[in-house]
Amino acid sequence: MNYLLKLTSGEINRLIKYKILPVSLITSFLWIIIFLFISKEDARNIAPLLIFIDVSMMSILLIGATLHLEKQEGTIKSMMVLPLSVGQILVAKAFASILLGIESVIVTSLALYLIHGITFNYLLLLLFVFIAGGAHVAIGFFLALSSKDFSSMLGLLMAYMFPFAIPTILFTFGVIEKKYEWFIMISPSHSASNLITSVVINEYDWTKIIASNIYLLILASLLFVFTVYPKFKDNAIRG
Amino acid sequence: MSIAFSVENLYFKYPTSKTDIIKGISFDVQEGEIFGLLGPSGAGKSTTQKILIKLLEDYSGSIKYFGKDLKAIDKSFYEEIGVGFEMPVHFSKMTALENMKFFAGFYKNTANIQELMERVGLWEFKDVKVGEYSKGMKVRLNFVRAILNQPRVLFIDEVTNGLDPKNARTIKDMIAEYRANGGTVFLTTHLMNDVEQLCDRVAFCVNGNLQEISTPRDLKLKYGKREVKIEYRENGVTNNALFPLEKIGSNNDFQNIIKNKEIETIHSGETSLEDIFIIVTGVDIK
């Protein structure tokens, strides 16, 4: 546990040193500016989308950037010869990425309250962000470990976004009708969006919420155990 | 002295390769010796090292680490070994000291970071980001990283590659001191100068097989010519003469040149490790 804390604090320290956390904070503050110029109703409707983007797409992007940078620097190889397990290294990276999502949630929630007086169940949102973030970190690992470099990782991210993330954005803006929602819930990103939206707009469809949670937890577990873990180890050894 | 590593009939194949990369090699590494594994690129020496440091585990054959089955040893193994990679392995946006402190934080026993960095001439650059280091500085920092946990066995790969002669000498001195204090070293390299100066025994790895395991001296005797070549001046001209080593003390022609001519050079026919490398591996390292 002690090692896990040290690893996670090392990851967070590097997020600061590599200017990833400050950039993420600046992005979050951009959302605040948007909230200043829109109505309370619009803010409540658009906030889930902004949180969803930070928790899903930004997590994938962050994991990709981190892994490819570390591959370039050879640090993963150096970590592999420490008295640590691969599982501990992966969990620390996942925690650090999810933390960025949580940071975005805190800034966005604070802005919604201070500007428009909007409140919601913060603990439930944190739990859902943790689950949605975890699943997207697993997807991020999968895409990063399946790509040669960061450019090809971006290509894979685009390929992921078209079938899995764009429909969610279209759904948010009403382009895709509500009757098709169960169909697009096959996308992990839509399941994540569904969880975040339900808390922020205070409308709970528990069947969909439970289904989304189970789906994201199973997907994250399967990806970590059967793909991410062996691929990460293989990549680290090959250097 | 006990045996640090005992390797018997080791075979290894990568999942994507059709044939074995390591083809049934056997060797021992004695505690307190510097063992050099030499060979051309792709011969299997890096793979062998990766197996010994437990990065690759799907091998067949037996590997004992101080008498214990290597596969049965857990992550605590990394408390006892130090690994120096050829390529830089540090966080470039962090300072050298931040890097060392980060890695040191995971070991139970750590050496004095300041002492090590002073020894390799990096202490005054401790607060410089590693990304701003020169290649030689990164290589020296890699070495400090490798011995940070006061390892019982040290694995090093091309340890002086990219260093100027002075810094290369410092690193080699530190390795020799480490060995003198009971440490065991497993060195993979193609730099024959390092091998000549450091290794107690060497093995040549060729196409996944070990061709020779011996001391550098014995290899030189085995592959060298038992002869003496003399260059001497006579009537303003340099002449050569070659004599067999057998009964050289009673060879009259040899005695005559030694006593009566102006000798310019005398060389025994022992060969260099570089020549032996080429003979054994069939690959020119130049």
Condensed to tens digits (0 to 9), the pLDDT of residues A85-97 reads 999 999 999 999 9
Phi and psi at residue A166, in whole multiples of 5°? -60, -45
Query: How many residues are there in chain B?
Result: 286
With contacts defined as CB-CB under 8 Å, which chain A residues touch B102?
10
Q: What confidence category does residue A1 fall into, taking pLDDT thresholds of 50, 70 and 90? A: low
Whether residue A38 has pLDDT greater than 80: yes
Q: Is A141 exposed, middle or buried (0-12, 13-18, 19+ CB in 10 A)?
A: buried
With contacts defined as CB-CB under 8 Å, which chain A residues touch B91?
14, 17, 73, 75
CA distance B110 to B146: 11
CB atoms within 10 A of CB B145: 24
Q: What is the pLDDT of residues B120-134, one digit of tens each?
A: 999 999 999 999 999
Whether residue A239 has pLDDT greater than 70: no
CA distance A41 to A173: 14
Pairing outcome for strands B184-189 and B209-214: unpaired
CA distance B82 to B80: 7
**Chain B residues touching chain A at CB-CB below 8 Å:** 50, 53, 55-56, 75-79, 81, 83, 85, 87-94, 102-103, 105-107, 145
CA distance B73 to A12: 31
**Residue ranges of domains in chain B:** 3-220, 225-269
**Residue ranges of domains in chain A:** 2-238
Residue with tokens 């999968």: A142
**Which secondary-structure segment (H or E) carries A25?**
helix A20-36
ipTM score here?
0.86
Please check whether residue B202 is in contact with residue B38, taking contact to mean a CB–CB distance below 8 angstroms. Answer: yes
With contacts defined as CB-CB under 8 Å, which chain A residues touch B93?
14, 17-18
The CATH topology of domain B3-220 is Rossmann fold (3.40.50)
Average pLDDT value for residue range B197-202: 93
Please check whether residue A76 is in contact with residue A235, taking contact to mean a CB–CB distance below 8 angstroms. Answer: yes
CB neighbours of A171 closer than 8 A, spacing ≥ 6? A178, A180, A181, A184, A190, A193
Write out the E strands in chain B: 3-12, 22-30, 34-38, 60-65, 68-69, 81-84, 153-157, 184-189, 201-206, 209-214, 227-234, 237-244, 262-268
CA distance A28 to A105: 9
The token pair at B159 is 């340890």
Q: Which residue of B has its CA nearest to A8?
A: B102
Whether residue B286 has pLDDT greater than 60: no
CA distance A79 to A88: 11
Average pLDDT value for residue range A215-234: 94
CA distance B48 to chain A (A): 13
Average pLDDT value for residue range A30-46: 90
CA distance A105 to A162: 25
Residues 116-135 of A with CB under 8 A from B: none
Q: What is the pLDDT of residues B28-77, one digit of tens each?
A: 999 999 999 998 888 888 899 999 999 998 999 999 999 999 999 999 99
A74 contacts B78? CB cut-off 8 A:
no
Whether residue B273 has pLDDT greater than 70: yes
- Determine the pLDDT at residue B220: 86
A82 contacts B53? CB cut-off 8 A:
no
Q: What confidence category does residue B277 fall into, taking pLDDT thresholds of 50, 70 and 90? A: confident
Of the listed ranges A164-178, B14-28, B82-96, the least confidently predicted one is A164-178
3-state secondary structure of B185: strand
Q: What is the pLDDT of residues A57-110, one digit of tens each?
A: 888 998 998 899 888 888 998 999 999 999 999 999 999 999 888 988 999 999
What whole-number percentage of chain A has pLDDT above 70?
A: 99
Which among B75, B89, B105 has the least Cβ separation from residue A74? B89
